[in-house]
Chain A
Amino acid sequence: MATEVLEKPIEDASPGKVGTRFDLEKETELRFEVEAGDGAEQVELELLSGMAEVFGSELNRNKKYTFGPGAKIAVFTWQGCSINLYGKPEVAYVSKDTPMLLYLNTHAALEQMRKQAEKENERGPRVMVVGPTDVGKSTVCRLLLSYAVRVGRRPTFVELDVGQSGVSVPGTVSALCIERPADVEEGFSVQAPLVYHFGSTTPGTNIKLYNKLTSCLAEVFSQRCEVNRKASVGGCIINTCGWVKGSGYQALVHCASAFEVDVVLVLDHERLYNELKRDLPHFVRVVLLPKSGGVVERSKECRREARDEKIREYFYGFCGVTFYPFSYEVRFSDVRIYKIGAPSIPDSCLPLGMSQDDTQLKLVPVTPGRDLTYHVLSVSSADDGEDGVRKGIVETPVCGFIVVTNVDTQAQVMKVLSPAPRPLPRHTLLIMDIRFMDMK
């Protein structure tokens, strides 16, 4: 139901860029996509009059927001507004058909729960957002978090999507305390997140570890709630993976139990909704919500690029301009590199009575070699103590990431890309399956 609303080319825009003006009626949204790829032109957005928001964050009037290649943006207005787009978006259209009112009502219900919690000195709502891939889970999370912050709450964002993490690099699970609405261009400001190393982009590679980390995050969050009243009332919003079958589904149920969730928001998946209604106890409210028509399916390629971009952002900052990472050599003898989970072997090769599960949480030392090149390594914040500490490494958060850019087996050193100058803060490194080539 896309309706073209008053598009007028504007002549007096910044040189070289063509501006297009959109006048939006109330409760409609402008959706546009910026062409992907390296040579693509950026698109600028300006609010001329009225009020509008992007995924829950309000736009400032007469400020130009820039969106890089591959961005998919929806500008929504509750009251009506006028917007200018500069540059050539791949698509741009106005839609009246958005589930925003449903999402806003969801927020209202959650806020009602927070009010009640505040009054009765209880804990606030813990919400889990589930659904298959490409239904807008992270967008709904961002929206609900931004709304909550805007009414003065301090919710916690729990990111369990190891493929497309909104907080840290891919291959991690994390929690972030939200103190201000997401930046329109950059997303949430990442200050002191709690990050755990998972090591891969799908929970299926080590479901046991995934569930373990979920429990870890839940425990830490509960501890925080006990000491911080505001965080407790704010509750949490949990973003999950798009894997909703088999073990993926069981991981969702485990997460619900670990976090003791009060509300589960199922996006556009009736089957999953029915299953969760069946398998979660009655005091958990399971809600089915439609997805927005603006949600775009991302190809595998697109996901990989998004992951790469996220790692680049970690080292170089947003749009590759804010940070200047360091490159230095690390001696093999100075670090200990581990992989979590022994490689799986066919059951027929296992001794009688051993089960594969036993190996999934094991710490396997990795001998540094050429194949380490381009791998992302997490720097565990575990103390560099002796073997006694080794046990806890899996459950210890990470303090940062480095990428191996070159390995010299003769000199027994590796060159790493690091966000901070040498020395490494800790010497226990965990290897990820994820690789990053520093090419741009």
Chain B
Amino acid sequence: VRGQKDFIPDGSEEQKQKLEQALNEHWSLISEERVERLGSLVKGVWIPEEQIIELQTPAGKFWQTMGFSAKGKQYLLPEEALFLMECGNVQVFYQDLPFSIQDGYENFLSSKSITFQQYLVRHFKKVVFLFANVNIYNIECIFTSGKGILSGHRKVREIWDSRQMLVLYFCVISCQTEVESVEEEPDCKQDVIRKSEVKQRSWWSPGKTSGSCSVSGSRQWDFSSIHFPDVGSALRSRPDDVVSLAAPDPSLLPGALTVGPCDVIPWRQRINLKEVYMSPKDRQREEEANRRWMDVNRDPEVRSCKSWAEYRALLARRGDIIYCDPYVLSNHPFMYLCCSLKPLDNWRISFSVFQPDSVSSFKKSNPGRPYARMVVCSFNDPVPDLAVLKQLSSQSPEVALVFAAVDHGDISFYTFKDFHIPKDVFP
């Protein structure tokens, strides 16, 4: 439907009827009885003092994207529990009595966990259709909620397949857990940052390199006895590098040649040292790389690897993020810093959003670079001013910032696209 949205009451009979019909449908949907098998429900106990839910039975599939474990037990955050209750995955008990959904809403949503608005947005974990016009500024969304979800999920897939619509399915996880884990152990912040820097070498991701070779073994060449004529070592003239080579063994050479010793030093002046031309983009990348300049071999773990197989295993252990982002973790302490300097009362980043195609490889402990970071606000709130925008976007470098404006059941998403201000040709 084009044109203005039909939302201002005009007192007409037609509008009234439409509204009534929509409400009736809504109620009939919600009032439908939901039957869940008791056996398939995961049991949890609400601990109000700590504001968490402790799981009594092993967690289900949702564990891949939610929850955390501590002291050998599995826990859920209140908003996660509420969400799972609504999905029919979890049953929460308090003083041996089961919680109703209403109890859940009353107890689990508070200023300590997340607000109702944020929870609504978080609901997008379930199913979301987004009809993205080419103009991204104006996204209309339809949002299925309540009972329709289980069957709705399948429907989404069908629509996706049959009509190739622009359907997206978001997987939202709260970035709170990430932040908390950093907060708890302030001492290891440095460590976290260092680790994330190591991970920046995205092209090592083991998934891509399939050339594993059983013949490779774990051998390590002893290059102290194999002498290459390395002009580079002559440039540095480190003591352990051989600068001048003795005459090679004739048995190694073709045609039983005999040649004299080889002096590498004279060649060092002739190597190309001239500046390489770089485009502004290359230069920027270069500066970036230099800023977090890090020799992989300074890492003692890398140094202990003796072969490609071991090195790859190490990288795999550290997380197989394909698009890694050095800011993922290092960003959060910074974010706190930023907030403590000048707290923004109403505006904060509530969620990191990950795309559904990453679900299979998604790790809670190491979520990787989010697709977007989301700020939740009400439709009635004032439009964020430039200072707010600036501050928020500085907290989310390289990752798009999406504003979710909640208008009761409807949520609209807004984001800024990159654009360039026209430049004068003459300086």
Q: Judge: A and B partners, yes or no.
A: yes
The CA of A105 and the CA of B229, in the complex, are separated in Å by 6
Interface 9-residue window, one of B80-88, B119-127, B300-308? B300-308
For residue A245, which residues in chain B have a CB less than 8 angstroms away from its CB? 276, 278, 282
Q: How far is the CB of B15 from chain A (nearest CB, A)?
A: 31
- Chain B's closest residue to A251 (CB) is B203
The CA of A353 and the CA of B233, in the complex, are separated in Å by 47
Q: How far is the CB of A259 from chain B (nearest CB, A)?
A: 6
Answer whether residue A219 sits at the interface, using C-beta atoms and an 8 A cutoff: yes
Answer whether residue A215 sits at the interface, using C-beta atoms and an 8 A cutoff: yes
Answer whether residue A435 sits at the interface, using C-beta atoms and an 8 A cutoff: no
For residue B254, which residues in chain A have a CB less than 8 angstroms away from its CB? 56, 107, 146-147, 150-151
For residue B227, which residues in chain A have a CB less than 8 angstroms away from its CB? 105, 109
Answer whether residue B216 sits at the interface, using C-beta atoms and an 8 A cutoff: yes
Mask, B214-249, CB within 8 Å of A = 1, is 111101110100111111110100000000010011
For residue A259, which residues in chain B have a CB less than 8 angstroms away from its CB? 211
The CA of A101 and the CA of B308, in the complex, are separated in Å by 31
Contact residues of A: prevailing secondary structure: helix
Interface 9-residue window, one of B6-14, B101-109, B129-137, B343-351? B129-137
The CA of A102 and the CA of B219, in the complex, are separated in Å by 26
For residue B214, which residues in chain A have a CB less than 8 angstroms away from its CB? 226
Choice from A150, A211, A273, A282 contacting B297 with Cβ under 8 Å: A282
Taking CB atoms and an 8 Å cut-off, the chain A residues in 106-138 that contact chain B are 106-109, 111-113, 115-116, 120, 122-123, 125, 135
A-B complex: 5 closest residue pairs judged by Cβ atoms = A288-B232, A218-B211, A150-B254, A108-B248, A260-B308
Q: How far is the CB of B378 from chain A (nearest CB, A)?
A: 22
Cβ B231 vs Cβ A112 within 8 A: no
Q: How far is the CB of B404 from chain A (nearest CB, A)?
A: 13
Given A108-B253, A113-B221, A283-B220, residue A225 in contact with residue B215 (CB < 8 A): yes
Answer whether residue B252 sits at the interface, using C-beta atoms and an 8 A cutoff: yes
Answer whether residue B386 sits at the interface, using C-beta atoms and an 8 A cutoff: no
For residue B297, which residues in chain A have a CB less than 8 angstroms away from its CB? 278, 281-282
Interface 9-residue window, one of B46-54, B149-157, B187-195, B255-263? B255-263
For residue B303, which residues in chain A have a CB less than 8 angstroms away from its CB? 282
For residue A283, which residues in chain B have a CB less than 8 angstroms away from its CB? 220-221, 305-308, 311
Interface 9-residue window, one of A29-37, A60-68, A264-272, A307-315? A264-272
For residue B232, which residues in chain A have a CB less than 8 angstroms away from its CB? 266, 270, 273-274, 277, 286-288
For residue B166, which residues in chain A have a CB less than 8 angstroms away from its CB? 351-352
For residue B217, which residues in chain A have a CB less than 8 angstroms away from its CB? 122-123
Cβ A271 vs Cβ B276 within 8 A: yes
Cβ A106 vs Cβ B228 within 8 A: yes
Answer whether residue A174 sits at the interface, using C-beta atoms and an 8 A cutoff: no
Choice from A102, A285, A288, A348 contacting B221 with Cβ under 8 Å: A285
Q: How far is the CB of A182 from chain B (nearest CB, A)?
A: 13
Cβ B212 vs Cβ A108 within 8 A: no
For residue A409, which residues in chain B have a CB less than 8 angstroms away from its CB? none
Mask, B261-302, CB within 8 Å of A = 1, is 010100100111100101001100100000001111100001
- Chain B's closest residue to A245 (CB) is B282
Taking CB atoms and an 8 Å cut-off, the chain A residues in 136-171 that contact chain B are 146-147, 150-151
- Chain A's closest residue to B169 (CB) is A353
Cβ A290 vs Cβ B267 within 8 A: yes
For residue B203, which residues in chain A have a CB less than 8 angstroms away from its CB? 211, 250, 253-254, 257
For residue A274, which residues in chain B have a CB less than 8 angstroms away from its CB? 232
- Chain B's closest residue to A220 (CB) is B211
Cβ A269 vs Cβ B272 within 8 A: yes
Choice from A99, A113, A271, A349 contacting B226 with Cβ under 8 Å: A113
- 12 A-B pairs with CB atoms under 8 Å apart are A109-B226, A146-B254, A225-B215, A226-B213, A260-B213, A260-B307, A262-B221, A270-B273, A280-B296, A291-B272, A352-B166, A353-B168
Answer whether residue B363 sits at the interface, using C-beta atoms and an 8 A cutoff: no
Residue among B270, B281, B312 with most chain A CB within 10 A: B270
Cβ A352 vs Cβ B417 within 8 A: no
- Given A257-B308, A260-B307, A348-B134, 15 more contacts at CB 8 Å? A104-B257, A108-B248, A111-B253, A151-B252, A246-B281, A246-B285, A258-B210, A260-B211, A270-B271, A273-B232, A274-B232, A281-B311, A283-B307, A288-B232, A288-B271
Answer whether residue A436 sits at the interface, using C-beta atoms and an 8 A cutoff: no
The CA of A349 and the CA of B278, in the complex, are separated in Å by 29
Cβ A105 vs Cβ B262 within 8 A: yes
Answer whether residue A18 sits at the interface, using C-beta atoms and an 8 A cutoff: no
Taking CB atoms and an 8 Å cut-off, the chain A residues in 346-360 that contact chain B are 348-349, 351-353
For residue B270, which residues in chain A have a CB less than 8 angstroms away from its CB? 290
For residue B278, which residues in chain A have a CB less than 8 angstroms away from its CB? 245
Interface size on B, residues (CB 8 A): 71
Cβ B228 vs Cβ A257 within 8 A: no
Cβ A107 vs Cβ B252 within 8 A: yes
The CA of A336 and the CA of B366, in the complex, are separated in Å by 44
Answer whether residue A221 sits at the interface, using C-beta atoms and an 8 A cutoff: yes
The CA of A104 and the CA of B282, in the complex, are separated in Å by 36
The CA of A107 and the CA of B276, in the complex, are separated in Å by 29
Answer whether residue B204 sits at the interface, using C-beta atoms and an 8 A cutoff: yes
Cβ A215 vs Cβ B209 within 8 A: yes
Answer whether residue B208 sits at the interface, using C-beta atoms and an 8 A cutoff: yes
Residue among B136, B139, B213, B302 with most chain A CB within 10 A: B213
Answer whether residue A289 sits at the interface, using C-beta atoms and an 8 A cutoff: yes
Answer whether residue A332 sits at the interface, using C-beta atoms and an 8 A cutoff: no
Answer whether residue A371 sits at the interface, using C-beta atoms and an 8 A cutoff: no
- Chain B's closest residue to A101 (CB) is B262
The CA of A254 and the CA of B206, in the complex, are separated in Å by 10
Cβ A285 vs Cβ B253 within 8 A: no
Q: How far is the CB of A53 from chain B (nearest CB, A)?
A: 8
Residue among A266, A285, A288 with most chain B CB within 10 A: A288
Mask, A347-382, CB within 8 Å of B = 1, is 011011100000000000000000000000000000
Choice from B213, B273, B417 contacting A222 with Cβ under 8 Å: B213
Given A108-B249, A151-B253, residue A222 in contact with residue B215 (CB < 8 A): yes
Q: How far is the CB of A290 from chain B (nearest CB, A)?
A: 5
Residue among B136, B232, B264 with most chain A CB within 10 A: B232
For residue B147, which residues in chain A have a CB less than 8 angstroms away from its CB? none
Cβ A123 vs Cβ B259 within 8 A: no
Q: How far is the CB of B221 from chain A (nearest CB, A)?
A: 6
The CA of A106 and the CA of B253, in the complex, are separated in Å by 10
Cβ B211 vs Cβ A215 within 8 A: yes
The CA of A120 and the CA of B297, in the complex, are separated in Å by 27
Cβ A287 vs Cβ B417 within 8 A: no
Given A279-B296, A281-B302, A348-B417, residue A289 in contact with residue B168 (CB < 8 A): no
For residue A351, which residues in chain B have a CB less than 8 angstroms away from its CB? 132, 166, 168
For residue B221, which residues in chain A have a CB less than 8 angstroms away from its CB? 113, 116, 125, 262, 283, 285
Answer whether residue B371 sits at the interface, using C-beta atoms and an 8 A cutoff: yes
- Chain A's closest residue to B413 (CB) is A352
Q: How far is the CB of B261 from chain A (nearest CB, A)?
A: 9
Answer whether residue B355 sits at the interface, using C-beta atoms and an 8 A cutoff: yes
Residue among B166, B230, B273, B295 with most chain A CB within 10 A: B230
Answer whether residue B364 sits at the interface, using C-beta atoms and an 8 A cutoff: no
For residue A219, which residues in chain B have a CB less than 8 angstroms away from its CB? 210-211
Q: How far is the CB of A299 from chain B (nearest CB, A)?
A: 17
The CA of A258 and the CA of B212, in the complex, are separated in Å by 8
Q: How far is the CB of A142 from chain B (nearest CB, A)?
A: 13
Given A280-B296, A288-B271, residue A352 in contact with residue B130 (CB < 8 A): yes
